[in-house]
Amino acid sequence: MEQLAISDYGFLSDCRSGALVGRDGSIDWWCPDRFDSPSVFGRLLDPDAGHWRLAPTAAGLPGHRVERAYVADTLVLRTVHHTPEGSVAVTDALAAEFGARGHQLGMNSPAVLLRVVEGLTGRVRMSLDFRPRPEYGLLTPYLHEQPDGAVLAAAGPVVLTLRTGGIPPHVDSDRVRQEFEVAAGQVVGLDVAYGQAYGSAPVRLDPVVALAETVQAWQAYRESHHYDGRYPEQVRHSATVLTGLTYARSGAVAAAPTTSLPEHVGGDRNYDYRYSWLRDFAMTLRALWVAACPAEASRLFAWAARSIGRVGPDPVPVLFGLEGERDLSEYECAHLRGYGGSLPVRIGNDAWRQRQLDVPGEVISAVWQLRDHLGEAFDMELREMVLGLTEQVAATWHLPDRGIWETRDADRHYLTSKVFCWVALDRAVTLAPRLGARADPRRWAAIRDEIRAVVLRDGWHERTGAFGGAFGSPDLDASVLLLPLVGFLPATDARMRATVEAVERELGAGNGLLRRWGTDPAGFLPCSFWLVEYLAMAGERDRAEALFARLLKHANDVGLFSEQIDPRSGAQLGNTPQALSHIGLVSAAWRLTDPGTE
C-alpha cells in the first residue's frame, strides 16, 4: 500500500472522537470511544492495522479525478470521484445525536461512521473493503453475518456493526469486500456503528437521515456564533475545526486527534497529541473568544479548573487526559511500523511528568482574559486555584525547567518560561481584588519586577544582539515572539526588533515559515502565525498581511493545518489537524483586525 501524504486526509468529528479519511476513500484512523481511546482503523500507522475503504473500482487509474470539500460550516466531508464511466459523490461524517442543536453537539454522540454514496452521472462501479483491527491493530475480529444483512465484527472489548444499505456483503475470514454499481440519481447509505462488548450495543441509524441530521446539527451550531473580524471564512472554518477537536463531555480541546505522525519522516520525534495541554489553554480560550464561542471558552475553563484541582507543591502537569486524567504514562506499540516507517509509535505522553514553569502563567492568563465573564467575586475553587498557582510561581520561578517545547534532555533556564512566570504574577496582581484576604499583590509585584529584571539581564546575549532561547545561550528560539504578545515588551522595543530580525534571518525556512530553533528540520506553523501577530503589532501591516496570505496556502485542499511544514517539499508534517495551528490562524486574523487587542 502506498502511504498517503498527511495532507491527503480529511477530518471527521462527532466531538467525542475523530476519524481521518483519505483522498483514496479509505478511513485509516478512528478511535471510536473517544479521541484518546484505542483505534479500530489504524492504517495511518501500519498497513495492517485496519481501514474501511469505499471508492470507485477505477480509483487511481487514468481518468480518475477527485474533488472534495466540507459541507458549509460542518465537518461533513463530500468527495466527488470523476471516472471515465461517470461521477459519484461519497459524503462522510461521524453522526451527531438525533435532534442535537447548538451546544448539545457531541454531548451524546452515538459513535457511528456514516458514508452515503450518490450517483451523479453515468454508472460507476464501487468497491468496498472493510477490515477492522481493534486495539491499534492487535485484534482480528470474528465476522458474523446477521439476518438483516449486517455484519457484526467482535473482538476483545469492541463490537462494530457494518450495514451496507441493502447490498449483500461478501464476508471473508477477516474482512468484508464487495463491489456494486451506482447509477445517476441512486443513493446508497452505509454505516459502521461502535459498541462495547460488555456494555452499550451499537446504535442503529438510517445513514441518509442521520447524515442530513448531522449537517443540520453542525450548521445550527455555527449559526449561533458571529465573528465580525477580517478573514471570516478562514476563521469560521478554523473555529469549526477547534469545535471538532473538543471533547464535548468535558469541554477539553485535544491538541490533535492523532498520535505519532512524525515531525520528520523516518525520525523519532513522534508523539501522542490526543490530550489537552494547559500550555495551549490561554491561546485556545482566546481563539474561541475571538471566534465568538463564549460558551465553549467557559466550558474549557471549567475543565481546566477541575483538572488542576487543589494546587500543592508539585508542578502542575502540562497536559491532562480529556476528562482530567493526570497519569498519561507513555508506552511504545512495537507491533506498528509507523507512518512512513517513523518509529517509535507512542501511546501516552510522558511530558506530563516534566516541570514546565510557563504552565501557571498560561492558566492565570486565561483567568485574566475571562475575568469580565467570571464576575467580580470568584468562587472558592477558582480563587484557590489562582492563589495556589501564583504562590507556586513565586516559590519556583528561579528553577530550571524543560521549556515550552518539552525537551527530553536537560533542564535549563528557558527565557519564555521565565516570561510566563512574569505573566502569572502580573495577571495575579490585577486579579488580587477578586482573590480574597490571602492575596498578596505587593509581594507578587515585587517578585514580578525581579523576574523582569532577570530576564532582561540574563536573557539578552551581547554577541548575537538578541534574546536567546535560554539564559546564557546564543541559540535563537522562535518562542521569543510571544514577549510582545503577552505584554512583556512592546513590539517596537529596539531589543525586540533586533531579536525578531535575527529570528527571521536564522530560523526562516522559506515560504513564510519559521523553525522553532536552529536544528529544527521543519517550519512550525504556530510560530509563523505568531510572527504575523508581531508584525501587525509593530506597525508592519503590509508585511503581516502578505505573510498571513502565504501561510494560508499551507493548508490542505479542505483547509486543514498540521503542526509543521517541510520547507523543501511543502509537505505537511506532524499530527493533524493541529489545534495550535488553527488557534494561530484565528489569533493572527484577529490581530490583523485589531492590532492593539490583548
Residues in the chain, how many?
598
- DSSP element (H, E) containing 346: strand 346-347
Reply yes or no: is the peptide bond before residue 577 cis, omega within 30 of 0.
Answer: yes
Reply yes or no: is the peptide bond before residue 344 cis, omega within 30 of 0.
Answer: yes
Q: What is the mean pLDDT of the segment spanning 404-428?
A: 96
- CA 536/CA 586 separation, integer angstroms: 14
Residue with cell 461524517: 93
Distance of CA 399 to the CA centre of its chain: 30
Q: What confidence tier does 296 reach under pLDDT thresholds 50, 70, 90?
A: low
**Backbone φ and ψ of 518, nearest 5°:** -65, -35
Amino acid at 104: Q
Contact 127, 30 (CB under 8 A): no
What b/e sequence results for 171-183 when a residue is b if at least 16 CB atoms lie within 10 Å of its CB, and e otherwise?
Answer: beeebbebebbbe
Q: What is the mean pLDDT of the segment spanning 164-188?
A: 95
Three-state SS for 509?
A: strand
Q: Which of 235, 378, 370, 231 is nearest to 296 (CA)?
A: 370
Per DSSP, the residues of 112-169 read EEEEEEEEEEEEEEEEEEEE--TTTTT---EEEE-TTS-EEEEETTEEEEEE-TTPPP
What local confidence, expressed as pLDDT, does residue 345 receive? 98
- CA 528/CA 357 separation, integer angstroms: 23
What local confidence, expressed as pLDDT, does residue 291 receive? 67
pTM as predicted: 0.96
Instruction: Kindly list the distances between the CA atom of residue 395 and the CA atoms of 198, 313, 391, 403, 553, in Å, as whole numbers in the listed order.
Output: 49, 9, 6, 18, 45
Q: Which of 567, 475, 469, 466 is nearest to 524 (CA)?
A: 567
Higher pLDDT residue, 447 or 385? 447
Which residues have a Cβ under 8 Å from the Cβ of 394 and sit 6 or more positions away?
425, 443, 444, 447
What local confidence, expressed as pLDDT, does residue 543 receive? 97
At CA 492, angle to CA 491 and CA 493, rounded to 5?
A: 95
Which residues have a Cβ under 8 Å from the Cβ of 45 and sit 6 or more positions away?
29, 136, 137, 259, 260, 333, 336, 337, 338, 339, 345
Angle, helices 579-593 vs 525-537, to 10°: value is: 10
pLDDT single digits (tens) 525-565:
999 999 999 999 999 999 999 999 999 999 999 999 999 99
What local confidence, expressed as pLDDT, does residue 303 receive? 84
Contact 182, 188 (CB under 8 A): yes
Residue with cell 514577549: 483
CB atoms within 10 A of CB 364: 25
Amino acid at 323: E
For the record, the C-alpha cell of 6 comes out as 498527511
Beta bridge partners of 68: 79
pLDDT single digits (tens) 450-487:
999 999 999 999 999 999 999 999 999 999 999 999 99
Q: What domains, with CATH codes, occur in the chain?
A: 6-223 (2.70.98.10), 232-593 (1.50.10.10)
Q: Which of 81-85, 373-377, 499-503 has the lowest mean pLDDT?
A: 373-377
CB atoms within 10 A of CB 443: 14
Q: What is the mean pLDDT of the segment spanning 292-321?
A: 80
- CA 126/CA 58 separation, integer angstroms: 8
Beta bridge partners of 401: 412
pLDDT single digits (tens) 354-365:
999 999 999 999
What local confidence, expressed as pLDDT, does residue 598 receive? 61
pLDDT at 312 over 90: no
What local confidence, expressed as pLDDT, does residue 222 receive? 82
Q: What confidence tier does 493 reach under pLDDT thresholds 50, 70, 90?
A: very high
* HSE of 503, CA atoms in CB hemisphere, 13 A: 30
pLDDT single digits (tens) 9-61:
999 999 999 999 999 999 999 999 999 999 999 999 999 999 999 999 989 89
pLDDT at 375 over 80: no
Write the DSSP symbol of residue 306: H
- CA 161/CA 530 separation, integer angstroms: 45
pLDDT at 101 over 80: no
* Percent of the chain clearing pLDDT 70 (strictly above): 97
**Backbone φ and ψ of 532, nearest 5°:** -60, -45
Distance of CA 560 to the CA centre of its chain: 10
Number of H helices, E strands in the chain: 14, 27
Contact 398, 440 (CB under 8 A): no
- CA 282/CA 301 separation, integer angstroms: 9
Burial (CB count <10 Å: 0-12, 13-18, 19+), residue 230? middle
